[in-house]
Structure 1
Amino acid sequence: MATIDQMLQHHLNCSSTVDPPLLDHTDTCSPCQCRGFFATEHKELRLDDCRFQRYMRLTVSQFDDLLVRIGDRISRLDTNYRLSISAAERLSICLRYLATGDSFRTIANSFRVGVSTVSSIVPDVATAIWDCLVEEFMAVPTTEEWRAIAVQFEERWNFPLCCGALDGKHVVIKSPANSGSQYFNYKGTFSLVLLAVVDAQYCFRLIDVGGYGRTIDGGSLSNSAFGQALKSGTLQLPADLPLPGADHQGLQPHVFVADEAFPQRKNLMRPFPGRNLPRERRIFNYRLSRARLVVENAFGILSSQWRMYRRAIEVHPEVAEKCVKATCVLHNFLRKTTQTTVVSIPAGEVEPLPDLGRIAANNSAREAIRVREAFTSYFSAEGTVPWQDTV
């Protein structure tokens, strides 16, 4: 495996006094390329960790760590006709695209490489990031890990037996050629659907990317591997337990919390529909909404960190899917390699409850209704919190 210094010095050692050509840049390691960002500014940028992080979204140590993990996967061999672009520069090009969402031509002009080079580097490096990080930072949780997530949800968000918050995000893309209305969503844009399960610390535990924008969240769930595993009971969730201090209600299953766009199931909890609800149901909706905020916050952090989500992604849907998966696993990588403290939202800062007037078309099973009623009674009795009546 090449060392970090060897990777970084590949282009930094290049120098030339020849003026850059006026024509379009070639894919060779030309004098023009050696005057690009990586050759002229990257080394200096590494001396200021804050500036480096603003530019690459990773600290210098995180960048080096990631480079070691994927360096061999993205390295290319030199030939008699051209010098290869180093792994460090290839990673920088991909990270810069994910961090800004700029066009491939803008990235190419900055790094002094060809547009076709950028168009091949971005999906290759994004795929390598996903493949090399997913096992460590986004593996499917085991039974013990699901149990640990449930403990954290109870401690931080006062929702027991919760294994995660579920929601979908529309990732806006440029209208694909000959796609008809498949990607056209209810917001009037073209999009891919990112379906995600988030734990109590804002980390993505399971994701499904690539659903058509026209599909509603409930349909995306049914078509996803997570939805099928949840329905078939193969997620290896912990055994049923009584709610804390409510043994008289019997054993209850571990659940995921979601909004009203998803169906009510035994292991999937959605709010009560309607507005003029009884006190117990209003409290349940508040407690569920408070726990579900983690997935909304995670999407907000993701789009704030990786600005490609702030504009329409102008690449093929297959490439957009690779980039989305890369940013999600990088999100976890950053959160687990950065010393941060996650705290619960104080009562006075909880967002108002969403409009629950829309009723999703689903037939709730009796068991699913029973489980929700058990949680509803618990939140108004043994599981009450001091501020829930004032929100």
Structure 2
Amino acid sequence: MACQARVALQCRTALLQVQLNLQDVEIDMQEYIARRRRRRKEQRRRWWSKKWLGPERRRQFGLYDQLMVELRREDTAAFCNFVRMPPGMFDELLARVGPRITKQYTSFRAPLEPGLKLAVTLRHLASGAKFMDMRYSWRVPHNTISIFVREVCQAIIDEYVDEVMPLPTDAAEWQVIADGFKQKWNFPHTLGALDGKHIRCKKPHAGSGSTYFNYKKFFSVLLLGLVDADYKFVWVDIGGRGAAGDAQVWNESDLKDAVYTGKVPIPQPDPLPMDNEDVPYFFIGDDAFALRPNMQKPYTLRGMSREERIFNYRLSRARRVVENAFGILANRFQVLMSTMQHTPGTVRLITTACICLHNLMRIRYPRMQNQLLDREDANHNVINGEWRQGRNMRDCVVVQGPNRDNREGKKQRNLLKHWVNSPAGSVPWQDRMI
């Protein structure tokens, strides 16, 4: 009994000590907060607003009221290069986004013009310039720029994302994408080209460790994009940590789950041209993705036959639209080529806004920046005939693989290999390209 009483006394003593420690911590915190409040009251602002950042100097010397007016009047091409869009597109953007970013006039201080906010944001996206540098030319405080750039990007997304990047919701819409790949790139049944791009950013915070540090040895946020035959983004997943791979982000994405479970219906399998065997519709990607009936990728480079090299060329020819889309996107909005000094959330916001503007420009001005595309002037006529005659098709029936999906994917890839090497699917220039 004496032993139990002694243990109970020790427990009560320890509990009392913990309570006293918590009280000490609370007192220290209250004293710290009180000191902070006293210091803030004692501190006085040196300037309410610096004169060279005031509205009068801004209208007299700022880029928005001076240079942009001159460029619009005298050099439209330079205006387009400055904000990455023609004056007409800028005016449309301002008319639709302006009401979302307009602040209320008060007796406290006149708000910034929505046109100025839009121009500063577009110039940041176009050049990747830091806010501290931009304040000297635009005559706007850097902390103010950091606030309204996020607001403008969010307004662009809210206004345009459903219009310029609608995800297909039925088989007919997916069929339009597949028809585009068949007509432009001679690769049927393709629902889109998939690839990833690392967007550079600063280290998020001290506790992030290596989660944003990728195999290329820099911190990044991963952009995974699905692109149609006309270089427009159909779907994107932005925000994957740099340490993750393309396949990991794809496997965890909502789109893959929706397509594979039938929540987003895709066209039912049907025959390739000049054939009678049903083939599933699929996405195309590089070696990072797993080979499946709904995901096709090239053959491994080791020990390829001539027919496999031709298949790789044909698939890569269709798949490079996503590489070109990334190229156009980064060349138009060079903030994506710099190391963004933003948090991952702001990086996602800016990247999404850039993609919306990219799709908008592809819709409104499809020929702009076409010199960056790998276009081909070739004869796309096909030769009619039974391409299966005389060919050994056993590799479309018996294949080795770790699981059923992998084996079915290999069968489908072999079937496509035979098709692109047959009179029904071949193109006149494919032999000289390998």
Q: Which bin holds the TM-score, normalised by the shorter protein? A: 0.7 to 0.9
> Take 2:323 and 2:203, find their aligned partners in 1: how far apart are those partners?
26
Structure 2 letter corresponding to 1:141: P
Please, what TM-score do these two structures have when normalized by structure 1?
0.86
Deviation readout 1:85-106 (Å, 9 max, x if unpaired): 1111111111011001110111
Pairing 1:231-270 to 2, within 5 Å after superposition: 231-247=260-276, 250-270=277-297
Shift of 1:233: 3.1
Residue from 214, 223, 237 that aligns with 1:208? 237
Which structure has more RCO (C-alpha within 8 Å, separation ≥ 6)? 1
Q: Report the equivalent of 2:64.
A: 38
> Take 1:260 and 1:362, find their aligned partners in 2: how far apart are those partners?
17
Residue from 371, 376, 382 that aligns with 1:346? 376
Q: Does 1:183 pair with 2:212?
A: yes
Structure 2 letter corresponding to 1:196: G
Question: CA RMSD of the aligned region, Å?
Answer: 2.3
Residue from 351, 363, 375 that aligns with 2:416? 375
Shift of 1:110: 1.7
Greater Cα offset, 252-261 or 377-386: 377-386
Matched residue of 1:38: which SS? Answer: coil
> Take 2:267 and 2:431, find their aligned partners in 1: how far apart are those partners?
31
Structure 1 letter corresponding to 2:162: E
Aligned CA distance change for structure 1 residues 129 and 274 (closer, same or farther; 3 Å): same
Q: Report the equivalent of 2:93.
A: 66
Unaligned 5+ runs, structure 2: 1-45, 379-400
Shift of 1:386: 1.4
Provide the aligned length of Structure 1 versus Structure 2: 357
Matched residue of 1:209: which SS? Answer: strand
Point out the structure with the larger helix share.
2
Unaligned 5+ runs, structure 1: 1-20, 349-360
Deviation readout 1:197-238 (Å, 9 max, x if unpaired): 111111111111000000011101112222322332333211
In 2, are the aligned partners of 1:153 and 1:159 still within 8 Å (CA)?
A: yes
Pairing 1:1-391 to 2, within 5 Å after superposition: 25=50, 30-34=55-59, 35-47=61-73, 48-142=75-169, 143-178=171-206, 179-247=208-276, 250-340=277-367, 345-346=375-376, 364-381=405-422, 382-391=424-433
Please, what TM-score do these two structures have when normalized by structure 2?
0.78
Aligned CA distance change for structure 1 residues 239 and 207 (closer, same or farther; 3 Å): same
Deviation readout 1:163-204 (Å, 9 max, x if unpaired): 110000001111111211011000001100000011111111
Aligned CA distance change for structure 1 residues 56 and 370 (closer, same or farther; 3 Å): same
> Take 1:302 and 1:339, find their aligned partners in 2: how far apart are those partners?
13
Structure 2 letter corresponding to 1:346: E
> Take 2:292 and 2:69, find their aligned partners in 1: how far apart are those partners?
54
Q: Report the equivalent of 2:15.
A: none
Structure 1 letter corresponding to 2:237: D
> Take 2:310 and 2:104, find their aligned partners in 1: how far apart are those partners?
62
